[in-house]
Amino acid sequence: MFTVGTAYALQEKLHLAEGSKAPSFSGKAHTGKTISLNELTKNGPVFVVFWKERCPHNPRAAALFNSLYKTYEGKAQMVGLVSAPEERLGSWVSQFSVAYPLLPDASKKVISDYAVVYSICTFQIGKDGTIEKVFPGYGSEAMSALNAAMAKAAGTAPKEVDLSAAPPRLTWG
């Protein structure tokens, strides 16, 4: 059994490191709006969530990310990328009731640019385009840390968010 620290140490080798320049991306979200990381970061930190289309953790994890997004909507920015082709994006959004803008990355170019190996992985990207924090997986401790980071980005104290469905240990797939 891994401790959270050990799991993070393993995961650090599986994505771009904190302090790295975040690779730029843009694309058409499921909302029909074109999303650009460069435009988003002008307004402050952005939380970018990477999803594998068929990750077995998606149903449970998606609900948690939706809750966090809805809690800080309009105050903290979140965007997702999923390894699904554009023609399946709508059904993925419907299946998981995605509340935030989601872009397809069927070619896995952006996923590769961020060196993401396992889903789910969230990057906090600062106004200067630097990766400030990486939240690999979605265990209870990681989700609580993400809640605190989103609250800070929103300029507020952390809100009470029901994260009880998060697994006790850091989990990814």
Q: What is the pLDDT of residue 118?
A: 85
- State the sign of the Cα–Cα–Cα–Cα dihedral 54, 20, 144, 172: positive
Cβ contact 93:70 at 8 Å: no
* pLDDT value for 7: 47
- Per-residue confidence (pLDDT) for residue 6, from 0 to 100: 52
| Secondary-structure percent of the chain, ordered helix, strand, coil, rounded to 5 | 35, 20, 45
* Amino acid present at 126: G
CA-to-CA distance for 9 and 30, rounded, in angstroms? 34
pLDDT value at position 15? 78
**Residue numbers of the chain with a pLDDT score lower than 70:** 1-13
DSSP per-residue letters across 23-86: PP-EEE-TTS-EEEHHHHHTTS-EEEEEE-TT-TTHHHHHHHHHHHHHHHTTTSEEEEEESS-H
DSSP 8-state secondary structure symbol assigned to residue 21: B
Nearest to 139 by CA among 112, 169, 106, 110: 169
Q: So what's the pLDDT on residue 9?
A: 55
Q: Are 132 and 125 in contact (CB under 8 A)?
A: yes
pLDDT tens digits along 74-117: 999 999 999 999 999 999 999 999 999 999 999 999 999 999 98
Which tokens go with 129? 């385009």
